[in-house]
Amino acid sequence: MERSQILRAVIRKQPGQSFLLDVDCQAAPGFTILFGASGAGKTTLLDCIAGIARPDAGSIAIGDRVLFDAVKDINLPTAKRRLGYVFQGLSLFPHMTVEQNVHYGLSRLTSAERSSRTAKILQAFRIADLAGQSARTISGGESQRVALARTLVTDPDVLLLDEPLAALDAPTKSTIIDDLRQWNRDHQIPILYVTHSREEVFALGERVLVLEAGRIVFEGTPHEVMAAPRQETVAQLAGFENVFDVTVQEVHPERGTMLCIISPHRPPAYGTSGSVWLETPLVRAGVGSKLRVGIRAGDILLATSRPGGLSARNVIAGRVTALEQRDVIVSAHVNCGVEMEVSLTLAARDSLELTPGREVWLVIKTHSCHLMRN
């Protein structure tokens, strides 16, 4: 059987939510990451491919095998689609043992073949010692390995994974990711992996499809996503903690910059004029255009006295409203007319003696302001 098959899906579905799922995508053998916020339609998309949900229009095929075609009225039942689907959370059969769960999909094989295949995959996922245990009594990480084993032992043509690692801790996650990668090297099939975790995207992703409100807004490698994010979802993926709506006030083609004003949200801090100006790189937009700006928390410098002689074009006064410590990073929330999040080291916080209420200045380079269409 031809193993290097491409999954093609054209799906339109009105799932009863506010938006329409409308995608046209392809997944070659290997990992394709489906990234998006909750409710963006990722699970619905997987359900359509699996045959659990029925699209209103479109077609789904793996290589030459048609799974669904609205025009020709083909709708293969789930059981005949020969794919694997690992759900988020528990889906092991609680009334069966681990071994019974794993060989559930192998009922058509002879008893001998079934036992040998089951034993092999239990070994591969390092859960052979759990074989006789009831599925209710094993831990979360073990459960997901069993779920993966159960799905992969049936040798599916396509693998669908819906946030399979969501409830697990970091070490467990990374061992399972390694197992998956190893398995992917040995069996080249399209793997659609849904996640909203940036780390998993970069750990697994060969290709990323970003889904927002039912539409694919970006397709490419994880690095391409980092380079020039245009939509907010993508911005989140690429790690922009600060995203603002701005209006272009002045355009300076000779300088290669634009002046934008951020619409203020809060009463301005003492000593500020009340609105925040940002000098950003020049893009093709006229005065009055409404755009979006993304600035990474790690790209903003903090100063406790007004700095001078800097190359940075944006020096903004503000007041610290809160300080949050996460591991070895400190997140400072500063009100400068709008609220900005700034990342510092613990050492920096201590040496600047930062406390809430302290007056500070924010330093932002022009090129740290990434412009996005609204």
Partner 1 sequence: MTIDWQAFRLTFELALTVSAILLVIGLPIAYWIAFSPRRWKFLVEAIVALPIVLPPTVLGFYVLVALGPRSPLGHWWISLTGHTLAFTFTGLVIGSILYSLPFAVQPFAASFASVDRRLIAASATLGASPLRTFFRVIAPLSLPGLITGAALSFAHTMGEFGVVLMVGGNIPGVTRTVSIDIFDRVQSSDYAGANATALMLLIFCFVILAVVYGVNRKAWIITGTLSSGA
The residues binding partner 1 (CB under 8 A) are 50-52, 77-85, 87, 89-91, 93-95, 104-105, 107-108, 136, 150-151, 154
CB of 95 to partner 1, least distance (A): 5
- Reference 245, options 364, 362, 367, 372; nearest CA is 372
Structure tokens given for 213: 């409100």
Beta strands in 274-358 (DSSP E): 276-281, 290-295, 301-303, 314-326, 329-335, 339-345
Instruction: Compare residues 148 and 293 and give the one whose CB is closer to partner 1.
Output: 148
CB of 78 to partner 1, least distance (A): 4
Distance CA 14, CA 22 (A): 9
Alpha-helical runs (H) found in 51-161: 98-102, 111-124, 140-152
Instruction: Compare residues 85 and 244 and give the one whose CB is closer to partner 1.
Output: 85
Distance CA 320, CA 374 (A): 29
CB of 108 to partner 1, least distance (A): 8
Angle, in degrees to the nearest 10, between helices 140-152 and 111-124: 140
Q: What angle do CA 257, 261, 266 make, to 5 degrees?
A: 150
Instruction: Compare residues 146 and 203 and give the one whose CB is closer to partner 1.
Output: 146
Instruction: Compare residues 79 and 170 and give the one whose CB is closer to partner 1.
Output: 79
Distance CA 181, CA 232 (A): 30
CB of 72 to partner 1, least distance (A): 22
CB of 100 to partner 1, least distance (A): 9
Instruction: Compare residues 103 and 313 and give the one whose CB is closer to partner 1.
Output: 103
The answer to whether the CB of 346 falls within 8 A of the CB of 352 is no
CB of 89 to partner 1, least distance (A): 7
Instruction: Compare residues 86 and 372 and give the one whose CB is closer to partner 1.
Output: 86
Q: Write the DSSP assignment of 87-100 as a string of letters.
A: -SS--S-TTSBHHH
